Amino acid sequence: MTAHDSQHDGVQPPGSSASASKAPVPACHQARTPAFAHVSQLAELMAETRKYPQGVSRADLCETLTLGRNAVDRRLKTAIGLGLLIPAGRGMSTGGRAPEMWRFNPAVATILVLSISYRSSTVALTDLSGTIIDQIHWEEGILSDPHTVTAHALEHLGALHDRHPELPPAWGLGVSIPTTVDFRDGSLIAPATARTGGASDTLSWTGFPLRSRLARALNLPVWIDDEVNVLALAAAKRIGAPEDLLYVRLSLGLGMGIVSHGQVHRGAAAASGEIAHIQMTGSGGRSCRCGRKGCLETALSGGALEDAAVTPQALKRSPYLRRLDENGGIRCEHVFCGAAEGDPVCVRLLTEAADRLSVVLAVLTTTYNPGEVVLGGGVAQAGEFFSRAVGQALRRRVLPATSERLRVRMGDEDDALKGACRMVTDALLSAHVMHVWLPYGSPVGVAELVTHRRQDA
Ligand SMILES: [Zn+2]
């Protein structure tokens, strides 16, 4: 037993005056602050339990957390009282009575997520493990005005909430957006990696107070991250995922998220993985939206695919593309879907894209030696054909030492939603955030979480 075990946990059991309810907690609420050691051990216990959907026993927890029985019992009691853990039957007997098992209960609360893409957005309602319960998709994204997108996002989030009065309340909102985010405070710090076609300009999102607007309007804590990091987080949390991986997002723009030792790697200026603007062809290349010429994105992105799909040669050879061109225009999503359906021109365009991508990935995988390269974003619609093409081209360019333990796979279309949920659940169940809400029994209506400027501490 540690010295802190004798202190009161400071946790209100559910059903008491400060338990989880939809009513906001008054600012003057006199909650007892739990000992930080208790909260940090509780956070470790939750992290451990979440790894094992089939459940863990007290003995398992004592061993992995290197805590005594009394300490584990105390944390178990708190977690069960909060509804975070539920019984999972009996485990295997090792001679005596079969041990009681406990597992994480993702249904104790819900999470709201907002995934802003280039030309479309999605809001979803999930449980704490990222299982999507309901979602609304609409045609408007980072190429549109931030005020309008935010207003519509709030309308749709409200509609999702109203559609499910039977569900427990939302504990937080996770936002994924295809632009660089300073994760310390969730501010949008640079133009998005999309080409700026037409009147709308992603520059208008730089400095837009998206996080505080959403937090105030919903009275919920909000976490925001660059879409590439959210995607990478989703891949990192899959069962069986390697500790080191790269997630390439190929949508209208190009980007990459990096996971190192199981953690999202952001770099010194939150710009790690910004591969779109590596100058590949020198100053003679095509003009890029960043103001320079010859960037990788001008040759390898959904935007580049759209340009290649409307050339006279492409239209001549593909009745599929010709039909789309005559009916409102070709978008990169059409090229991804066309390739999945075997349209020869779309397959050729994506095979060429796979080859270009393999040049960059050869350098990155040789340097970094990841266990997995995930290809996602809009290109997830292209299906396994694309990961095979990238894998084959990449293996030709690197030594077996790099490729023999490397898996190249397609991402899931809902990785951004799952990753955004995961970001919020991880934060809510981290020691420093739990320390704030634990006295109230739930994060619902805890003003300090809604107004806290930092999102990383
Ligand atoms: Zn550029």
16 CA → ligand 1 middle, Å: 57
For residue 151, being part of any structural domain is answered with yes
302 CA → ligand 1 middle, Å: 14
C-alpha triplet 225, 226, 232: angle, nearest 5°: 95
Q: What percent of the chain has pLDDT over 70?
A: 89
354 CA → ligand 1 middle, Å: 19
- Note the pLDDT of residue 289: 81
pLDDT in tens, 393-407: 999 999 999 999 999
Is there a single domain that holds both residue 247 and residue 302? yes
Asked whether 257 and 247 are in contact (CB, 8 A), the reply is: yes
- Note the pLDDT of residue 193: 41
88 CA → ligand 1 middle, Å: 52
278 CA → ligand 1 middle, Å: 7
51 CA → ligand 1 middle, Å: 40
297 CA → ligand 1 middle, Å: 7
Mean pLDDT, rounded, for 210-223: 97
Does residue 22 or residue 339 have the better pLDDT?
A: 339
Backbone angles phi, psi at 138, to 5 degrees: -145, 160
Q: What is the mean pLDDT of the chain?
A: 89
Which domain range does residue 400 map to?
239-410
Mean pLDDT, rounded, for 376-383: 95
Domain boundary among 81, 104, 127: 104
195 CA → ligand 1 middle, Å: 9
For residue 96, being part of any structural domain is answered with yes
For residue 457, being part of any structural domain is answered with no
pLDDT in tens, 37-47: 899 999 999 99
For residue 202, being part of any structural domain is answered with yes
Is 80 exceeded by the pLDDT of residue 15? Answer: no
178 CA → ligand 1 middle, Å: 15
CA distances to 127, 178, 221, 391, 415 from 232, in Å: 20, 13, 22, 19, 9
E strands, 199-286, are: 222-226, 245-250, 254-260, 263-265
* CA quadruple 168, 218, 419, 203: dihedral, nearest 10: 170
Residues 6+ apart with CB under 8 A from 283: 292, 293, 294
Is there a single domain that holds both residue 403 and residue 296? yes
Q: How many angstroms separate the CA atoms of 244 and 259, rounded?
A: 5
Does residue 30 or residue 419 have the better pLDDT?
A: 419
- Note the pLDDT of residue 31: 56
192 CA → ligand 1 middle, Å: 11
Is there a single domain that holds both residue 365 and residue 250? yes
pTM above 0.85, yes or no: yes
For residue 389, being part of any structural domain is answered with yes
Asked whether 12 and 83 are in contact (CB, 8 A), the reply is: no
Mean pLDDT, rounded, for 221-242: 96
What CATH number should be reported for the domain holding residue 426? 3.30.420.40
291 CA → ligand 1 middle, Å: 6
Is there a single domain that holds both residue 260 and residue 398? yes
End-to-end CA distance of the chain: 28
Backbone angles phi, psi at 103, to 5 degrees: -135, 160
Domain count, the chain: 3
Q: How many angstroms separate the CA atoms of 31 and 443, rounded?
A: 13
Is there a single domain that holds both residue 313 and residue 326? yes
Is 80 exceeded by the pLDDT of residue 1? Answer: no
259 CA → ligand 1 middle, Å: 24
322 CA → ligand 1 middle, Å: 29
Is there a single domain that holds both residue 128 and residue 257? no
133 CA → ligand 1 middle, Å: 38
174 CA → ligand 1 middle, Å: 28
353 CA → ligand 1 middle, Å: 17
Is there a single domain that holds both residue 74 and residue 88? yes
294 CA → ligand 1 middle, Å: 7
Is there a single domain that holds both residue 317 and residue 398? yes
267 CA → ligand 1 middle, Å: 19
293 CA → ligand 1 middle, Å: 7
pLDDT in tens, 122-147: 999 999 999 999 999 999 999 999 99
Is there a single domain that holds both residue 366 and residue 244? yes
Is 90 exceeded by the pLDDT of residue 12? Answer: no
The mean-pLDDT minimum among 74-83, 177-186, 274-283, 396-405 falls in 274-283
- Note the pLDDT of residue 198: 36
Is there a single domain that holds both residue 42 and residue 155? no
Q: What percent of the chain has pLDDT over 90?
A: 78
**Confidence band of 268 (pLDDT split at 50, 70, 90):** confident
172 CA → ligand 1 middle, Å: 35
Domain boundary among 60, 76, 104: 104
For residue 214, being part of any structural domain is answered with yes
Domain boundary among 54, 74, 104: 104
* CA quadruple 431, 433, 438, 440: dihedral, nearest 10: 180
Mean pLDDT, rounded, for 89-99: 85
The mean-pLDDT minimum among 97-101, 156-160, 166-170 falls in 97-101
